[in-house]
Amino acid sequence: MLPPHGRFAPSPTGTLHLGNLRTALLAWLFARSQDARFLMRVEDLDTGRVRREHETQQLADLAAIGLDWDGDVVRQSERLDLYADAVARLDADGLLYPCWCTRREIREAASAPHGALPEGAYPGTCRDLTAAERAARERSGRPPALRLHAGSARVTFDDRLLGPLEGVVDDLVIRRNDGAPAYNLAVVVDDAAQHIGEVVRGADLADSTPRQLLLARLLGLEPAPRYAHVPLVLGPDGARLAKRHGSVTLADRRALGESAEQVRGLLAAGVGLAAPGEAPSMRDLLDRFDPARLPTEPTTFDAAVG
């Protein structure tokens, strides 16, 4: 097994909200409570949406609530050669095929029943093209994405918080049609390169784990990390916390007169690590931290109440 080194990997497309900050805090606690390294990685491959000023603010907010990390911040945009090498290895093994499907075509095809595949999964339309159909698509001039021929692999894993989970892997995108590496490929390559032993992230990403475990196996990047999917923070309407829910960022809470330490206490209280209104130190949180006592159900935050 790998040492339990952890990481947090935000995408700099906006300001972190309280749900993001709580996940980061829990990821830090998982790693530091096991005397492991904690790394910071910026997932900045979505060049149309990422902004360096967002990255700067995100890192400042994380530091303000008490997080520290080991080594330099790693940016995916500086690691493109690693992803290209992984794509080449999968292609050399005959595991990739070009896909010209538009999003609309995928939605329409994925709405039909396809046996073992989960609802909404890619059904393999371009994988099954005849030579003539493929030639016609090539003549269209539309650049294809590259998809993994996953073979509807069934992957199981034990989540640290959620217990045994299982998923059927569809033919996921490995390289987008603009040439950029897809998220699932990049995160697998990065976690292996950084020797991440335990991935702590929001429960909404649990469904992507079978895909990533399969990719790690196909790329020979095992042992793969262990996983702990922590509960989400929801708004009062039951949807995932977002800007529309009001004062949900560190800057928002400071504008209401709360200190960063008080915000940290608010985050900790939501997972049973602090009493309401308390502002515990990071040392306090480490002393209290017990993964077995963390909740698994999402919690609700009402910005009007705090």
What CATH architecture is 79-221? 3-Layer(aba) Sandwich (3.40)
Specify which residues 117 forms β-bridges with.
none
pTM for this one? 0.94
Specify which residues 67 forms β-bridges with.
none
CA 201/CA 159 separation, integer angstroms: 11
Q: How far is CA 241 from the centre of its chain?
A: 16
32 Rama class: left (phi>0) / alpha (psi -120 to 50) / beta:
alpha
The alpha carbon torsion through 212, 218, 219, 220 (nearest 10 deg) reads: 110
Please report, for the chain, the start and end positions of each structural domain, with discontinuous segments joined by +.
Answer: 6-78+231-300, 79-221
CA 44/CA 287 separation, integer angstroms: 34
Q: Which residues of 173-208 are buried (b: 16+ CB within 10 A; e: fewer)?
A: bbbbbeebbbbbbbbbbbbbebebbbbbbbbeebeb
Written as tens digits, the pLDDT of the chain (306 aa) is 799 999 999 999 999 999 999 999 999 999 999 999 999 999 999 999 999 999 999 999 999 999 999 999 999 999 999 999 999 999 999 999 999 998 888 877 766 555 566 767 898 999 989 999 999 999 988 999 999 999 999 999 999 999 999 999 999 999 999 999 999 999 999 999 999 999 999 999 999 999 999 999 999 999 999 999 999 999 999 999 988 898 999 999 999 999 999 999 999 999 999 999 999 999 999 999 999 999 999 999 987 676
Q: Hey, do 6-78+231-300 and 79-221 end up sharing a CATH topology, with the first three levels equal? A: yes
Q: Which residues are annotated as a binding site for Zn(2+)?
A: 99, 101, 122, 126
CATH number of 6-78+231-300: 3.40.50.620
CA 244/CA 256 separation, integer angstroms: 17
Q: Which residues are annotated as a binding site?
A: 7-11, 43, 99, 101, 122, 126, 183, 201, 243
Q: Which residues are annotated as a binding site for ATP?
A: 243
Q: Which residues are annotated as a binding site for L-glutamate?
A: 7-11, 43, 183, 201
